[in-house]
Amino acid sequence: MLVETEKLEFKEIATNEIYKEIIAFANTDGGRLLIGINDRGELTPLVNVDDVYTRVTNGIRDTIAPDVTMFTTYQLEENHTIQIDVAEGQNKPYYLKAKGLKPSGVYVRQGTSSVQASFEQIRQLIKESDGDTFESLRSLNQDLSFEQCERIFKKHELAFDQEKFNILGIKNHNSGLYTNLGLLFADQCQHTIKIAVFDDVENTIFKDRQEFFGSLLQQVEDAFKYIQLNNKTRSVIDDLVRKDYWDYPKEALREALINAVMHRDYSYSGSIIVNINRAFIEFISIGGLLPGMSREDILLGVSQLRNQKLTEVFLRLNIIEAYGTGIKRIFNLYKGSKQLPQIDVGPNSFRIRIPNRNEMV
């Protein structure tokens, strides 16, 4: 008598449960599903077996993502049972389209059972299929929109459509699914920029605070506008000429913000932090320097990219001019000043503090 094993599953009738079994086999080491045999291994011939066969094969195609049909073979047996052989898939994790890339939609084989995968198992399956580069990994959220990103591309007179998604890296060209880079540019981006204005140089007394959401490109635009609102001017009258001096060079603020966005480690869920007070403004991003890099290397203009594809999009939009020039440009803007910008690097953080030029007077 047949018995269920890690690679053999029985179903007496064809219900929606069979899709979970197919997913579990494809996400693990493959297996065989026999429909028309009960849990005890006894034959229970299917009624209208041809109709069941058609419904099952169509259901596997329409219910499971990515497409798993290339890893499944079907056989209609003379005893009115259906045999489905599932090979281990190459585009893991497979999941129920209606549930998405979350535990309720992703299944793996565990002994003789098909069980929901944990978030950690889902992440590991993605890494096995896509590699270990955060930008290229499939996004856990596939329900994405790009209204803000499209508007910004249009403003820069660049096309932003489905044809560009594979080129930019917003979609995986093999699976057709959105990547983490796509999530960063989507309206649903989970990372934010937080800006706080303080009434003291110790950053303990709040005057105002803002948090910016949405597409990373939209966040950059909105955050920079808000920072500029807090960039005051000092006026000096020289004879009949009035001269205005910004607290901070606008280009320095722009470069520091862009640097924080481009080089942060997006595998962490925290926000970019910008603190403003009367003495300085500081930009703090998650993720220290990449291995082999030092603070001195940064000051020399050496750059090692953490987010290659993100940086390439910033280049396309002319938001940056070249790799590794931002920090040097900030220091050049303060050449000859009483105080220079200050860089601090921690194991998992990077901070650049820019002094208020009008406070030095």
**Nearest CA among 73, 92, 95 for reference residue 174:** 92
The mean per-residue pLDDT over the stretch 344-349 comes to 90
How many CA atoms does the CB half-sphere of 92 hold within 13 Å?
27
* pTM of the predicted model as reported, rounded to 2 decimal places: 0.73
How many CA atoms does the CB half-sphere of 9 hold within 13 Å?
27
What is the DSSP annotation of 286-347?
ES-PPTT--HHHHHTT----S-HHHHHHHHHTTS-SSTT-HHHHHHHHTTT-SS--EEEEET
Instruction: Tell me if 289 sits within 8 A of 352, measured CB to CB.
Output: no
Q: Is the pLDDT of residue 361 over 70?
A: no
| Residues 87-102: tens digit of each pLDDT | 999 889 999 999 988 9
| Residues 39-90: tens digit of each pLDDT | 888 999 999 999 999 999 999 999 999 999 999 999 999 899 999 999 999 8
- Burial code (b: 16+ CB inside 10 Å, e: under 16) for 232-256 equals eeeeeeeeeeeeeebbbbeebbbbb
What is the DSSP annotation of 228-272?
HHT--EEEEEETTEEEEEESS-HHHHHHHHHHHHHHS-TTS---E
**Nearest CA among 158, 204, 22, 6 for reference residue 95:** 22
The mean per-residue pLDDT over the stretch 320-345 comes to 87
| Residues 284-301: tens digit of each pLDDT | 999 888 877 888 888 777
